[in-house]
Structure 1
Amino acid sequence: MEKPFLTVVVPCYNEEEVLSESVTQLTNIIKKLVMNDSISNNSQIMFVDDGSKDRTWELIKQYSESHEHVSGLKLSRNYGHQGALLAGLTAAHEHSDCVVSIDADLQDDVNAIIEFMEKYHEGFDVVYGVRDKRDTDTFFKRNSALTFYKIMSKLGVNMVPNHADYRLLSKRALTEFLRYKEENMFIRGIVPLLGFKSTKVYYNRNERFAGESKYPLKKMLLFAVDGITSFSVAPIRLLLVIGSITFLVGVVLGIYAIVQKIIGGVVPGWTSLIVSIWLLGGVQLIGMGVLGEYIGKIFRQVKERPRFTIEDNVFEMKCEKNKNNESLV
């Protein structure tokens, strides 16, 4: 039986401080899997440079020349984590029998990849890496994440709690995944939609090896908004409910004002007027913002612009070189 070609896709943005250790740890895992006859000796670790401003790409090229299992992909600019991950998965599709995605910061336990491959050989098309606990997170991050999962569940989005983008996809799962053409790709929500046989591998998350997190609070909030608006129209329906409640409150206040006028209990003042203006104005602005979010997604989608642009592809060159060497043999 032919051994599967595994590609480990690693999005990178300004990761020069951690890249050396990432190469070391991931290369050791690949070598163990090769020795165990679990994967092909041509398997690759593809570091995807997402428009880094430091020496990340320079280092990736150096490691690709000195390590047989290391290659890279350079994007023309910064497309964000999900864009870089999508670019890597797309590039890996043609040559790979299965792919594993993992971040470069080494917070996800690389040893779980060995168990990923065991599950793959058992016939699973999707293997989710799930955090066993969130002890390394701050109180705010831990509870905000749990709240997000609960909200998504209430909205009918089938997500895997405590799972980020550490997963394995088989060839056919990746093929089906790439058929989804959303401009705003929320990968964590799309993968469960594939419906293929899946399982979970639990692991303990580590502290970031070096450097700073590329997901500050602002990006986390934007990511959450993207996830919600990509999979549900519930926020628009919520606006309808808020608008209806506000209308009913207005009717009640109107009746109250008429009654006070009849009985002569009207006291001149501006409080009720100001409250009404701010209340209605706030509802309108919130409504415009939510609708704008959806319209903005439609606007970007109908343009059908490329979701990423590849500037340099060392991965493709390495794969072709390995194919030529095999044909000579």
Structure 2
Amino acid sequence: MQDFDVSSGSVIRRNELPTLQLVVPCYNEEAVLAESCRQFDQLLGRLIDAGKIAAASQVVFVDDGSRDKTWLLIEEETKRRPRAAGIKLSRNRGHQNAVLAGLMWSSADVVITIDADLQDDINVIETMIDRYGEGNEIVYGVRNDRSSDSVFKRNSAEFFYKLLAWFGVDLIHNHADFRLMSRRIIDALREYNEVNLYLRGIIP
């Protein structure tokens, strides 16, 4: 698990319980999928019981052309768990396209994208929902501790952010693809026709 902070965008007040879909891109995730599904399902159950999200909320696994048993496990989980759903891409399209496929398929009021490996702190999702309830359209999960990374990984990440900033790319520092987006933001995203998809640059 990693430590995360949240950073929020513009504010609009809300009243009704939102439907939430967790969009989880998957590529060769058979080793972790069952445990990931169990934890995501339990989290949704807690948020539903706490009156923070609607009962129709789901976790949606997007299989990005996996070569192992990922899709078979997704099918098993959707049969076992009513809150689980799956999307299978025809071939490997890459992480960003798998995330986008889940976003474009979603009909929920709120979507949170998160990787299947559970390296992101899923308990932060409740805070993200709270920020959405306060009226924020986008909420970013931002790592506040990189001490578990190697020196090379920390330095290369720092260089990467500085390089893209130099090129004028608007990025959220230490943010990957762990974020909440409202329906309004997803509808706006549909208007983009990027060939070289990079959501971390488009969303801000």
- Report the TM-score when normalising by structure 2: 0.91
Q: What displacement does 1:136 show? A: 1.9
Letter of the structure 2 residue corresponding to residue 2 of structure 1: E
Aligned equivalent of 1:20? 34
1:86 to 76, 83, 100: 100
2:60 to 39, 46, 55: 46
C-alpha RMSD of matched pairs (Å): 0.9
Aligned equivalent of 2:8? none
Q: What displacement does 1:54 show? A: 0.8
Q: Compare CA radii of gyration and give the structure with the larger one.
A: 1
* Separation in structure 2 between the aligned mates of residue 157 and residue 78 of structure 1, nearest angstrom: 27
Q: 1:231-242 alignment to 2 at 5 Å?
A: none
* Separation in structure 1 between the aligned mates of residue 87 and residue 60 of structure 2, nearest angstrom: 7
**Are positions 1:9 and 2:23 aligned together?**
yes
Letter of the structure 2 residue corresponding to residue 56 of structure 1: T
Q: Secondary structure at the match of 1:47?
A: strand
Aligned equivalent of 1:126? 138
Alignment gaps of 5+ in structure 1: 193-329
2:44 to 5, 21, 30: 30
* Separation in structure 2 between the aligned mates of residue 155 and residue 79 of structure 1, nearest angstrom: 26
Aligned equivalent of 1:156? 168
Q: What displacement does 1:2 show? A: 3.4
**Are positions 1:68 and 2:88 aligned together?**
no
**Are positions 1:182 and 2:191 aligned together?**
no
- Give the aligned length: 190
* Separation in structure 2 between the aligned mates of residue 178 and residue 136 of structure 1, nearest angstrom: 36
Q: 1:160-171 alignment to 2 at 5 Å?
A: 160-171=172-183
1:178-205 CA-partner distances (Å, limit 9, x unpaired): 211111111000000xxxxxxxxxxxxx
Q: Secondary structure at the match of 1:17?
A: coil
1:88-110 CA-partner distances (Å, limit 9, x unpaired): 11101xx2101000000110011
Q: Secondary structure at the match of 2:88?
A: strand
Letter of the structure 2 residue corresponding to residue 12 of structure 1: C
- Report the TM-score when normalising by structure 1: 0.57
Which structure's relative contact order is higher, taking Cα pairs within 8 Å and 6+ residues apart? 2
Q: 1:169-248 alignment to 2 at 5 Å?
A: 169-192=181-204
Q: Secondary structure at the match of 2:165?
A: helix
The structure in which a higher percent of residues are strand is: 2
1:112 to 108, 114, 124: 124
